[in-house]
Amino acid sequence: MSAPTLSEHQPTDESLSPDLRELHALIEAERAAFVEGGDGRKRAGYFCAYTPPEILDAAGLRHARLFRAGSPETVSNGERYTQSVFCDFSKSCIGAFDRAAGAADPFYLAVDRLYAFHTCASMKRAVEVIERFVPTVLLNLPRLRGEAASRAYLAAELRTLRDDAAALAGRAVTDDDVSEQILLYNSIRRLVRKLSELRQRADPPLTGLDFLEIVRGFYYLPPQVALEAYTKLYRRCAQRHQGKARPARLLIAGSIMADGDRRLVELVERQAGARIVAEDHCTGLRPFRHEIAEAGDPFVALANGYLDQAPCARMKPLGDSLDAAATLAREYEVEGVLYVYLKFCACYGVSKLAFVERFREEGVPVLELSSDYSVSDVGQFATRVEAFLEVLQDRRAERRQAAPALAQEYRQ
């Protein structure tokens, strides 16, 4: 099957740093193989970063996160069911599965079973349509991070996931199988964290685009392949010589940034010359800030570990998400935040004020951007981003300058 001719924005070899090209090629090869089939293994797909791939791998399933979106065509195919008031991501999830619409994504069509956690209400609704197109298992995801009963409940739902994965794969999945995967995935996450931490340097050897590609790898590559690729990558990048460049350091926070929704990051990094050094969203750094306990009942460990991770804003209390975002901004010494929320995203749109105020308390300016998958708004984004960077430059200049004389002021 050939690749879909969707008008998405995919990073080309050019937009990634040279060090990342090998990883990019690996990912594309893996994705092609996922679609190709013929290896006798069932394919599991999932939307949400709270889905433990540890369980899917323990069952020997081939799996991938389904977060490919960015094409207006896919959006409008999904819209036939939802009409307008859903976020473009949830519409795209429907559109990608709908064979009848004529522009479905072969990658999505290759999925044998969809494991869909009830995350936000819009995605749950979208899944009610999607389950017509693909066999789907719906699972509950608790919101109350602090309640022991909620953690026990998640553990129970994860066991249900395990049971279904085992049935799909046609084999038993023991607790030990899962424990083994927990170890493996922990080491992968550790590496991803270390790679991200290279961005704490004043002249980061990795761009935000690069890091998003690394995260792509996590969600598409088999764990052993990912581990090997990241190890090699880390060795190369860590050795990079520190240059004199001091690009503006930005954090992107907010809604999911789909694989294929890159035009903002491209604009910020390649056109405006700033740098994304950290992400508080679920397709960036956020899902990698936790480790699962490596002893004891693996389902209890998974439930605790996933609920302990830096939370999605659908989790309660919201204060936990605000704390995590602020901590990240401090750790990475960001100069500004791009708060990017999908239009109609309740979790990040309605909560916008709370996040903006928390960043303000940290002394970090915020640029709010409402986004979707249309292609014609790059100019509008450019104006806002550039103006924001002008503000950040002034702040930097103020921090540095000693004498107020005009000539000195402008002659740094």
Partner 1 sequence: MNQVLAVKTRRRNGAKRPPSHGLAALDALAETYSYDALQRVAAAGKSVIWGGWSWESPLIYACDTTPVSFEHLWYDDSRRSAAIAEDYFQVPGEFCSMIKAMIGRLHTDRNNAVKRILHFGSGCEPMSAVLELAKRDGYDVQTLETVSAFRPEEKRAAGVAMLVSELRRIARWLTGREVDEDRVAREIRRKNRVLAKVEHVLNLRARHPLTIPGAQTKRLFLGSMHGFGDAERFIEVLDTLAEELTALDGVAETTAYIPLVLAGSVGNQRLFEAIEEAGGGIAGWIYHGSHPYDESLPPLESLAHYVLDAQGRGDLGEAVGASVAYRRVLVEEEVRKTGARGVISSSIIGCPYASLMQQLERDHFKQVGIPLIALETDVHREPPTEEQITRVKAFIEMLS
Partner 2 sequence: MRIEEIVGPDPWPHTPRAPVVGLDIGSRGSKGVLLTPDSIFTVFVPTGLYMQETADELLGLLLHEAHLKRRDIGFIVGTGYGRISLAYKDLPYQVVTEITCHAMGAHAVLPTARTIIDIGGQDSKAIRIDRASGKVVEFVMNDKCAAGTGRFLEKAAVLLDLRLDELGEVALQADAPAAVSSQCVVFAESEMISLRARGERHQDGAARSNIAAGIHFASARRVKSLLARVGTEPDLVFTGGVANNAGMRHALETLIGARFTDAPMDMIYAGALGAAVHAGRHYAAAVAAGTLRRPRAVPRRRPVAASADRYAPAGLQA
Distance CA(113)–CA(44), nearest Å, equals 5
Taking the C-alpha atoms of residue 26 and residue 108, their distance in angstroms, rounded to an integer, is: 19
Work out whether 140 is an interface residue with partner 1 (CB under 8 A): yes
Q: Is 344 an interacting residue with respect to partner 1 (CB under 8 A)?
A: yes
Helices in 332-409 by DSSP H: which ranges? 346-349, 352-361, 378-400, 406-409
- Residue nearer to partner 1 on the CB measure, 86 or 185: 86
> Of 53-61, 70-78, 315-323, 377-385, which segment contacts partner 2 by CB under 8 A?
377-385
Give the C-alpha separation, 247 to 265, whole Å. Answer: 14
Fill in the amino acid letter for 257.
M
In the list 83, 239, 376, 412, the residue contacting partner 1 (rule: CB under 8 A) is 83
Q: Is the peptide bond before 317 cis (omega within 30 degrees of 0)?
A: yes
Angle at Cα 66 formed by Cα 61 and Cα 70, nearest 5°?
160
Beta strand 113-118 pairing with 136-140: parallel
User: Residue 278 belongs to what H/E stretch?
Assistant: strand 275-280
For residue 150, state whether it binds partner 1 (rule: CB under 8 A).
yes
Minimum distance from CB of 156 to partner 1 (Å)?
Answer: 4
Write down the least CB distance from residue 385 to partner 2, Å: 9
Residues 29-58 touching partner 2, rule: CB under 8 A, are: none
Q: Which of 318, 326, 378, 391 binds partner 1 (CB under 8 A)?
A: 318
Of 211, 217, 228, 284, the closest CA to residue 253 belongs to 284
Give the x-and-dash track for 352-381 against partner 1 (CB under 8 A).
xxx-x-------------x-----------
Q: Does 129 bind partner 1 (CB under 8 A)?
A: yes
Q: Site for partner 1 (CB under 8 A): which residue of 1, 21, 160, 333?
A: 160
Give the integer Cα–Cα distance in Å for 315 and 90: 19
| Residue 330 CB, nearest approach to partner 1 (Å) | 23
Q: Which option in partner 1, partner 2, none does residue 142 bind, with CB closer than 5 to 8 A by kind?
A: partner 1
By the 8 A CB rule, do 108 and 126 touch? no
**Which of partner 2, partner 1, none binds 380 (CB below 5-8 Å, type-dependent)?**
partner 2
**β-sheet with 366-371: strand ranges across:** 275-280, 249-254, 336-342, 366-371
What is the C-alpha to C-alpha distance for residues 135 and 367, in angstroms, rounded to an integer? 41
Distance separating alpha carbons of residues 49 and 287, to the nearest angstrom: 7
- The binding site for partner 2 (CB under 8 A) comprises 246-248, 271-274, 343, 356, 365, 368, 370, 372, 374, 377, 379-380, 382-384, 386-391, 393-394, 396-397, 406-407, 409-412
- The binding site for partner 1 (CB under 8 A) comprises 80-86, 118, 120-122, 124-126, 128-129, 138, 140-144, 147, 149-150, 153, 156-157, 160, 313-314, 316-318, 341, 343-344, 346-347, 349-354, 356, 370
